[in-house]
């Protein structure tokens, strides 16, 4: 008597589908490698979600709180650096609230802000 089991068609379909998904996932990963570099696009998306209540964060935005610098103005401050931007966000001066962000989010946000620099 044989100890082999016959797989049902549904089981075979599920296994093939899982294999196909794994192949597709590895292909996507190969096309867009993970990098440690700050990502200005992620920073822009974060800014639009978190910072746009007070700051003008992009040219598409039309309203912000008066007397709050725009991201473009922040980027163009004399001697501005990504480190300075991250420090200001991590340890804000009143009236800016403390915004809990990861190191990666701070780097991405600073990269986006500095991408608006005119020089």
In terms of DSSP H, where are the helices of the chain?
9-31, 40-50, 71-75, 82-90, 103-115
Q: How far apart are CA 45 and CA 24, in angstroms?
A: 26
- What local confidence, expressed as pLDDT, does residue 111 receive? 98
The band of 75, judged by pLDDT with boundaries at 50, 70 and 90, is very high
Query: Does residue 8 carry a pLDDT above 60?
Result: yes
Task: Select from 18, 24, 2, 71 the least CA-distant residue to 10.
Answer: 18
Contact 94, 26 (CB under 8 A): no
For 99-117, the pLDDT digits (tens) are 999 999 999 999 999 999 9
Contact 99, 50 (CB under 8 A): yes
Name the CATH architecture for the domain at 40-115: Orthogonal Bundle (1.10)
């Amino acid at each position: 008597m044989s100890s082999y089991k016959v797989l049902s068609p549904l089981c075979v379909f599920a296994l093939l589908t899982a294999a196909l998904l794994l192949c597709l996932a590895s292909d996507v990963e190969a096309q867009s490698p993970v990098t440690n570099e700050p990502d200005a696009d992620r920073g822009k998306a974060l800014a639009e979600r978190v910072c746009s209540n007070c700051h003008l964060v992009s040219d598409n935005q039309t309203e912000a709180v008066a007397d709050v610098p725009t991201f473009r103005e922040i980027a163009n401050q004399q001697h501005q650096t990504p480190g300075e931007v991250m420090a200001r966000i991590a340890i804000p001066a009143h009236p800016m609230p403390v915004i809990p962000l990861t190191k990666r989010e701070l780097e991405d946000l600073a990269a986006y802000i500095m991408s608006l620099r005119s020089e």
